[in-house]
Amino acid sequence: MDADVIVIGAGLAGLQSARRLQRDGHRVIVLEAEEAVGGRIRTDVIDGFRCDRGFQVLNPAYPAVRSWIDLAALDLQRFGVGAAIRDATGIRTLAHPLRHPRHALGTLTSSRLTAAELAGLARWIVPTLLRATVASRATDDETLHDSFDRVGLTGPLRRDVLDTFLAGVLADSSGTASANYVRLLVRSFALGAPGLPSAGMQALPEQMAASLRDPVRLATPARAVREGAGGVEVSTDSGALRARAVIVAVDPQRIGELTDRPAPATHGLTTWWFSAPQSPRRGRFLVLDASRPGGGPAGPVWNTAVVSEVAPSYAPAGRHLIQATTLLDRPDGRADEHAVRRDLERIYGVSTAGWEVLVHHVIPHTLPAQPPPLVDRRRQRIGEATWLVGDHRDTASIQGALVSGDRAARGLDGILTA
Ligand SMILES: Cc1cc2nc3c(=O)[nH]c(=O)nc-3n(C[C@H](O)[C@H](O)[C@H](O)COP(=O)(O)OP(=O)(O)OC[C@H]3O[C@@H](n4cnc5c(N)ncnc54)[C@H](O)[C@@H]3O)c2cc1C
pLDDT over 70 at 191, yes or no? yes
Q: Is the pLDDT of residue 104 over 90?
A: no
Can you list the positions of beta strands (E) in 127-263? 195-197, 222-228, 231-236, 239-248
Tell me how far apart the terminal alpha carbons of the chain are, to the nearest angstrom: 18
Is the model's pLDDT at 113 over the cut of 90? no
Cβ–ligand 1 distance for 268 under 6 Å, the answer no
Distance CA 103, CA 174 (A): 31
How far is ligand 1, taken at its centre, from the CA of residue 265, in Å? 15
pLDDT of residue 108: 86
Nearest CA to ligand 1 atom 37: 250
Q: What is the model's pLDDT at position 61?
A: 94
CB 361 near ligand 1, within 6 Å = no
Residues 6+ apart with CB under 8 A from 337: 272, 357, 360
Q: What pLDDT sits at residue 388?
A: 98
Phi first, then psi, for residue 88 (nearest 5°) are: -60, -25
Q: Is the CB of 42 under 6 A from ligand 1?
A: no
pLDDT tens readout for residues 85-99? 999 999 999 988 888
* Residues 346, 324 contacting (CB under 8 angstroms): no
Domains annotated on the chain, with CATH: 3-41+202-264+374-416 (3.50.50.60), 46-198+266-368 (3.90.660.50)
Report the candidate in 416, 21, 48, 389 with the shortest Cα–Cα distance to residue 213: 21
User: Which tops the pLDDT comparison, 271 or 128?
Assistant: 271
Cα separation values, 141 from 1, 124, 164, 374, 403, Å: 45, 12, 21, 7, 21
pLDDT per residue as tens digits for the range 355-375: 999 999 999 999 999 999 987
* Tens-digit pLDDT profile for residues 46-98: 999 999 999 999 999 999 999 999 999 999 999 999 999 999 999 999 988 88
pLDDT at residue number 133: 56
Rounded to two decimals, the pTM is: 0.96
- C-alpha 132 to ligand 1 mean position (Å): 27
